[in-house]
């Protein structure tokens, strides 16, 4: 079966990495994948290295131009896919609109990731894509959402169709994200940190919903009682050149305790080097960073948004969003329990990922859905 993916872009991010992980684990005897990226990025050559064709449309970021859609239609006519899978809002729109113009009718599946339901927090072009997606949401054969909470919010707040939804959570490569004493020690040496430094990490791009302010106000409370703690942050725009972020850190006097690493390609090693991982968001879908930390045997403190509480279960701490004191207290509790107790909690966290969110199980869900949609579509065409 020829499955063609239309994704918004291939810069490093949770949604883009999930597509890469899916492609890397698909049964290539059953499926022939092809990727169309509306814009490029660092993950493009990684997908090509899997011997999967990638066509980059070079759209301006955040746009779906008319001329670009016509080029996409021509490409789809040449490739003749059996199933088209949109990925992220602009990718969903481009896939659906292009499919309208194909002579060979082809089922389209969307993939919505995250809880982008407050349009005022989004770029104008993204807000327009989300709004238009709601208007067209009855057309795709299925809408995959990686979060139960996100699916419900899209239906209740934005008017997305509820009749064709499917929930498939993120999957985690438990062989890539795993405990590593070597990474734990090497990372401290690389950053010239004292051997007894206790590292608390927040992995994620700089975005209002990630609520870095909440994290740093919690960090300020924690460092007053535990000065040996260091806060490690990585992700797009989480770097010293981000003046807004640096001004916040400086105003709180946290410069000596914080390391901003920016976008990195060694996230498995960084994550395995942490003692505690955190998510301070006020909006999430299904957090990749938290699942990856748990897979590395790192206990987590998360805000109760999206599916974070479900992911963590009883292997970490869950606190209300936008409450830095609650976040600080939960982090302090894990710091105070000591290394042995944290490791035991981390072992339980990894086991939860293995049992519920392994990449192998999630990939099978995608493959079964493609088969089901294709067979149903063929039956309707007879």
Domains 2-171+359-381 and 181-356 share a fold: yes
What is the band of 62 on the pLDDT scale with cuts at 50, 70, 90? low
Q: Decide if pLDDT at 297 tops 70.
A: yes
Quick one: pLDDT at residue 150?
A: 87
Quick one: pLDDT at residue 63?
A: 66
In angstroms, rounded to a whole number, what is the distance separating the alpha carbons of residues 303 and 282? 7
- Around Cβ 34, how many Cβ atoms within 10 Å? 18
Query: In the chain, what percentage of residues exceed pLDDT 70?
Result: 99
Lowest mean pLDDT among 37-46, 57-66, 83-92, 295-304: 57-66
Sign of CA dihedral 15, 358, 174, 297: positive
Question: Per-residue pLDDT tens for 150-188?
Answer: 899 999 999 999 999 999 999 999 999 999 999 999 999
Question: Per-residue pLDDT tens for 216-272?
Answer: 999 999 999 999 999 999 999 999 999 999 999 999 999 999 999 999 999 999 999
| Cβ-based burial of 63 (10 A; exposed 0-12, middle 13-18, buried ≥19) | middle
Over residues 97-104, mean pLDDT: 94
Quick check: 42 and 10 in contact, CB under 8 A? yes
Question: Per-residue pLDDT tens for 115-130?
Answer: 777 888 788 988 999 9
Quick one: pLDDT at residue 382?
A: 66
Structure tokens at 245: 């972020």
Question: Per-residue pLDDT tens for 188-212?
Answer: 999 999 878 999 999 999 999 999 9
Q: Decide if pLDDT at 64 tops 90.
A: no
In angstroms, rounded to a whole number, what is the distance separating the alpha carbons of residues 377 and 382? 9
Give the best-scoring range by mean pLDDT among 168-172, 271-275, 284-288.
271-275
Query: In the chain, what percentage of residues exceed pLDDT 90?
Result: 85
Homologous superfamily of the 2-171+359-381 domain (CATH): Glycogen Phosphorylase B; (3.40.50.2000)
What top-level class would CATH report for the domain 181-356?
alpha beta
Q: For 326, phi and psi rounded to 5 degrees?
A: -65, -40
Domain boundaries, the chain: 2-171+359-381, 181-356
Q: Decide if pLDDT at 139 tops 80.
A: yes
pTM here is 0.76
Over residues 353-374, mean pLDDT: 95
In angstroms, rounded to a whole number, what is the distance separating the alpha carbons of residues 48 and 341? 43
Give the best-scoring range by mean pLDDT among 73-77, 114-118, 355-359.
73-77
Average pLDDT, the chain: 94
């Amino acid at each position: 079966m020829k499955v063609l993916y239309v994704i918004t872009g291939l810069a490093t991010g949770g949604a883009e990495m999930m597509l890469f992980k899916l492609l890397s684990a698909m049964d290539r005897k059953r499926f022939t994948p092809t990727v169309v990226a509306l814009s490029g990025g660092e993950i493009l050559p990684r997908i090509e290295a899997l011997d999967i064709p990638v066509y980059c449309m070079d759209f301006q970021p955040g746009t779906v131009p008319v001329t670009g859609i016509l080029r996409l239609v021509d490409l789809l006519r040449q490739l003749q896919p059996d199933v088209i899978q949109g990925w992220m809002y602009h990718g969903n729109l481009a896939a659906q609109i292009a499919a309208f113009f194909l002579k060979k009718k082809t089922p389209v599946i969307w993939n919505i990731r995250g809880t982008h339901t407050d349009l005022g927090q989004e770029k104008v072009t993204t807000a327009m894509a989300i709004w238009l997606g709601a208007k067209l949401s009855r057309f795709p054969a299925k809408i995959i959402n990686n979060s139960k909470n996100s699916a419900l919010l899209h239906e209740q707040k934005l008017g997305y169709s509820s009749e064709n939804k499917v929930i498939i959570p993120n999957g985690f490569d438990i062989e890539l994200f795993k405990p590593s004493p070597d990474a734990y020690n090497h990372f401290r040496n690389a950053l010239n940190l004292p051997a007894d430094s206790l590292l608390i990490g927040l992995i994620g791009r700089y975005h209002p919903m990630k609520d870095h302010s909440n994290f740093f106000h919690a960090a300020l409370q924690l460092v007053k009682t535990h000065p040996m703690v260091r806060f490690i942050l990585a992700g797009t725009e989480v770097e010293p050149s981000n003046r807004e972020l640096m001004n916040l850190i400086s105003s709180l006097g946290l410069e000596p305790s914080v390391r901003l690493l920016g976008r990195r390609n060694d996230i498995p090693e960084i994550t395995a080097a942490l003692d505690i991982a955190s998510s301070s968001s006020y909006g999430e879908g299904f957090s990749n960073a938290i699942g990856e930390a748990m897979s590395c045997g790192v206990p987590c403190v998360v805000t109760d948004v999206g599916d974070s509480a479900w992911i963590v279960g009883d292997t970490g701490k869950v606190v209300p969003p936008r409450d830095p004191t609650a976040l600080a207290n939960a982090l302090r509790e894990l710091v105070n329990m000591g290394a042995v107790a944290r490791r035991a909690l981390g072992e339980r966290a990894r086991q939860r990922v293995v049992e519920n969110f392994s990449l192998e199980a999630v990939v099978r869900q995608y493959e079964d859905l493609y088969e089901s949609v294709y067979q149903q579509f063929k039956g309707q065409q007879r």
